[in-house]
């Protein structure tokens, strides 16, 4: 019977790989179309991957715990519905296991498999895309140069020619770990047997590039006692670690803190809560904050930008990421409220509540965790007064909200009790100046302290 490949899906524009955390079906088991087949983890989201068709799980190609690049075949489903797909695979030049090179940017499996491009389209190279002598690239050369957007961006920022490297990915494809190895002054791994990203040198030593020189850092030895409990990091925690370290390495982090009076917002919220409850929507402070952020971005769009090499991309859309803490310290997920400036206060409340609830129950669509242009994180719900959050790459600013609580303050030389909160913004000083970040925060403060009831 014909078989359909299940591939590692593209979970976001900057996601290059994913880790199989759990197979929900065993080899030989039947599976229905859209039924959850496995669980995967990336640095942005844990997600269930549905089966692209009904049939039998004929092969599991990637075991639990293994990390593979986007576009890699991870399983095969035996089903008559896959006949057309198999025929297309046999007619065109595919990647490993029948996956075409373009599969690296393929979306998550859908209910109906999309048709493969014609063989000529797969084999064709764009003008000038040759081997240096005017001839077409070989298949391996194309696979190597067709790296992920993240790899190409990192290479461009450090002046690295991706096509000159022999990577550790499929058919020599250059991976993020290979690029990091080159940046840190080590040769990229030439084969999977020598994985990239592992610090060179003796145990307990790592090398960090500083101003063009390599700095040797000795890692203190930790003596594990009998009373200590040792466990492996979860896949998601490892990905968060990598993403945060990368952000600190890439961006020039600077932070500012403002104190904001929330009495006006508290009054408006009290008046609007009954109307929102009639619509089945819980009204928190978050929609007011999002609205103020939107007004700040409109006034100072640099905080809604990204840096690519020596170019600044000012995003036309305002897509607000809202960090959601997972249960039991499993990390953060940042679902994205797309085109937030098109929504009313009611719409912001409804959509942000929905995203938060589905994030906590792991029911987010993969497309809902990428494309953000500015992020809000709210440690204040846990009692924190303020924090200095790490920028969510490739963005250039992130807002941290402290606890909103009643405090004694001096107003007109008198002591008054007011709702107050500290807001901290971390920004990338490569493009956002301190004055510009403060102007943005002043605008945000003005909106919140004079919030119109009909906004």
The answer to whether residues 61 and 73 touch, using CB atoms and an 8 Å cutoff, is: yes
CA distances from 6 to 28, 50, 107, 145, 454 (A): 15, 9, 11, 24, 49
Sheet holding 17-23, edge to edge: 46-50, 36-41, 17-23, 67-69
Q: Round to whole Å and give the CA distance between 413 and 434.
A: 31
Half-sphere exposure of 118 (CA within 13 A, CB side): 3
Structure tokens at 15: 């996601």
Sheet holding 55-60, edge to edge: 3-7, 73-78, 55-60, 30-31
Least Cα distance to 353 among 277, 294, 404 occurs for 277
Structure tokens at 267: 């009054």
Least Cα distance to 253 among 15, 431, 421, 440 occurs for 431
Residues with active-site annotation = 429, 433
Q: Round to whole Å and give the CA distance between 156 and 369.
A: 25
């Amino acid at each position: 019977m014909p078989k359909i490949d299940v591939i590692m899906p593209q979970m976001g524009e900057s996601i290059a790989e994913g880790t199989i955390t759990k197979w929900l079906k065993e080899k030989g088991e039947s599976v229905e179309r859209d039924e959850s087949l496995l669980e995967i983890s990336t640095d942005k989201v844990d997600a269930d991957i549905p089966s692209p068709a009904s049939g039998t799980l004929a092969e599991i190609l990637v075991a639990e715990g293994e990390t593979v690049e986007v576009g890699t075949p991870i399983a095969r489903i035996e089903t008559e519905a896959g006949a057309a797909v198999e025929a297309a695979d046999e007619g065109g030049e595919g990647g490993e296991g029948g996956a075409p090179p373009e599969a690296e940017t393929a979306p998550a499996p859908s209910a109906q498999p999309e048709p493969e491009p014609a063989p000529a389209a797969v084999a064709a190279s764009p003008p000038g895309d040759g081997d240096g002598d005017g001839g077409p690239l070989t298949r391996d050369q194309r696979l190597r140069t067709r790296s992920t957007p993240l790899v190409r961006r990192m290479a461009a920022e450090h002046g690295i020619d991706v096509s000159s490297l022999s990577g550790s990915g499929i058919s020599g494809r250059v991976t993020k770990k290979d690029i990091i190895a080159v940046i840190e002054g080590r040769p990229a791994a030439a084969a999977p047997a020598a994985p990239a990203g592992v610090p060179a040198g003796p145990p307990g030593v790592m090398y960090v590039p500083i101003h063009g020189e390599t700095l040797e850092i000795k890692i203190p030895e930790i003596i594990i006692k009998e009373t200590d409990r040792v466990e492996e990091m979860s896949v998601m925690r490892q990905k968060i670690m990598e993403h945060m370290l990368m952000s600190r390495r890439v961006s020039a982090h600077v932070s500012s803190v403002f104190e904001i009076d929330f009495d006006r917002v508290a009054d408006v919220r009290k008046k609007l809560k009954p109307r929102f409850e009639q619509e089945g929507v819980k009204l928190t402070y978050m929609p007011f904050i999002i609205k103020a952020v939107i007004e700040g971005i409109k006034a100072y769009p640099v905080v809604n930008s990204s840096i690519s090499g020596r170019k600044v991309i000012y995003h036309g859309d305002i897509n607000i990421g809202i960090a959601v803490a997972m249960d039991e310290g499993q990390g953060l997920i940042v679902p994205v409220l797309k085109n937030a400036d098109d929504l009313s206060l009611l719409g912001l409340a409804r959509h942000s509540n929905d995203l938060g609830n589905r994030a906590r129950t792991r029911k987010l669509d993969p497309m809902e965790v990428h494309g953000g242009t500015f992020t809000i994180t709210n440690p204040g719900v846990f009692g924190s007064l303020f924090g200095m959050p790490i920028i969510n790459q490739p963005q250039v600013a992130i807002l941290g909200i402290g606890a909103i609580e009643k405090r004694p303050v001096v107003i007109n030389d008198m002591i008054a009790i007011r709702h107050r909160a500290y807001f901290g913004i971390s920004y990338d000083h490569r493009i956002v100046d301190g004055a510009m970040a403060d102007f943005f925060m002043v605008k945000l403060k003005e909106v919140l302290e004079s919030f119109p009831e009909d906004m």
